[in-house]
Structure 1
Amino acid sequence: MVAKAEREVRDAERALATMRNPVANQDASQSGGRGTPDAGEQDLGTQDETEEDAAEAVEGSAPTSGDIEGAQQDLADARTRLHRAREANGPMLPASEVVVLQGFPARVDSVGVQLGSDASGKLMTLSAGALMIRSSLTPTDRGLVRPGQKVRILSELTGMTAQGTVRSVSDTLARAAKGQAPEDPGMAAGSAAGFTMTVKPQDGLSSTYVGQEVRLTVEAATSGQKVLVVPVSAISAGSDGRTTVTVTTPGHRDARRRVEVQVGAGGDGCVEVKPVAGELLEGDKVIVGSQDTSGGDRRDRK
């Protein structure tokens, strides 16, 4: 089948070449059929007449532009048939040696054998598509995280930072038995049960980050504007259910006053507060444990 298609291509190429240069091909055919004249002027005149007749025949049978276009199309069709024949009858391999991937780019994550060694077990591990991040949430954090929330990604090894979104959060706990690999790659073996969270980087990550650990910060809530915050350890809860902070007066170490506050969103070790009774301003010092610290600070709490 391939040989036949190759012959058709060669024939189409010769036909097109003949149409593009008909005079040269006619001259070549005539030069091969001429004999030696037997006698003088009569034979010479016969030869001249024969050449004139051949020239007129060539001129009358010159191919048109339509003929050349048709020959070009015949050549293109022949080449297409040859390409299809080679695809159908080209090199083949067993279907068991073919791996169909979901998409590209594709990466070779590991190779389990060496050249010349016996093939057993997993020969190679492949992964395809854009890099995703898998992590684990504690049961407490599971209720705060949902798909679509923004995530800050930090590689403590390289200092790389990126943005992403929560793609999915599992509804079932994943836990590894002692001494076995965890069900969730984001968990360490033997660690406490957790919920698998998948994060999709916004602009994609380089393949150099495959297998690296990164720190994820999920924006579970945001104030939308700058608010007054204090360290979480500065908040005190009384038996009457009120929450307060203790403010010290500069220059008067023993001058302290309690300010009742309403607690809001928290993160990064700080919590939003709104004064309910009393005055609390940015820059005020509040008591944390047994030491003073600069607590009042306005920032965009997330």
Structure 2
Amino acid sequence: MASRPAPTARRVRLAAELRKLRERAGLTSTDAAQMLGTSSGQLSNVESARFGVSPDRVRAMANLYSCTNQPYVDALVGMAGEKSRGWWWETYREVLPAGLLTLAELEHHATAIRTAFTSHIPGMLQTADHAREIFRQAIPTPTPPEVEHRVSHRIKRQDVVFREGANPYSTVIHEAALHMRVGGRRVARGQLRHLIEMSEWKHVTLRVLPFEVGAFPGSGQSINYLCGPVPELDTVQLDQFHGPVLLDAEAHLEKYRRLLDVVEAAALSPEKSRKLIHTIAESL
């Protein structure tokens, strides 16, 4: 028997949100299933993302659970109606960790992206040469084909910044990352010039956190904040050595929104940031 394909990240999130709505309504899965005219087993499969759910069923569930947040309900209905296969990242399923595919999916659907990086250039703004050198340093040491798979995946992820009508992308990069000569002078200089070019795009906001700021909240932690169609469906992605970690609890979302606000306020303006990057590039 063929194995059931892994659910998409969006379907997993939809399932989790439907379960939270039921629990907030104070209904057991047995009671909710009975009111919806289905079995508790079927409802369990939907809430665990083993089975998909139709947009009409999502509306019925939201109505049963007395959810009056219409924009939120509309967003859930939209998620239910999305296609589940055929996206570009699916071609990497056999060659890259699942977490990287999930990240690409979430970035693709994000309405805006806010990031803050301490020790490296954000993947969305990396050149292929820079990314290749980063991946070569991975442990355990990857094979040349594995490196190229990761590089091509990273470059394709950047479509969310380069595509026509791209949504807002905002990042704060610590000055330390700008001084790291990844790949040597030529690659490092090319990377900095690429940042300068990207910082001039209208939908890209790039700020540098200078050394003189000193300690700041979240120092040492890279943050990738992916905005959903409504704030309740935002996602935080944190880089860990073993792979990306995703957070979507309300308390986590509020914490990282505030943290990004503080870091952005402490950083240089986009214009001063561009000048600093240019100065560092000229010194190489």
TM-score, normalised to structure 2's length?
0.18
Point out which structure has higher relative CO (alpha carbons under 8 A, 6+ apart).
2
Which one has the bigger strand percentage? 1
**Whose Rg is larger?**
1
Which one has the bigger helix percentage? 2
TM-score, normalised to structure 1's length?
0.18
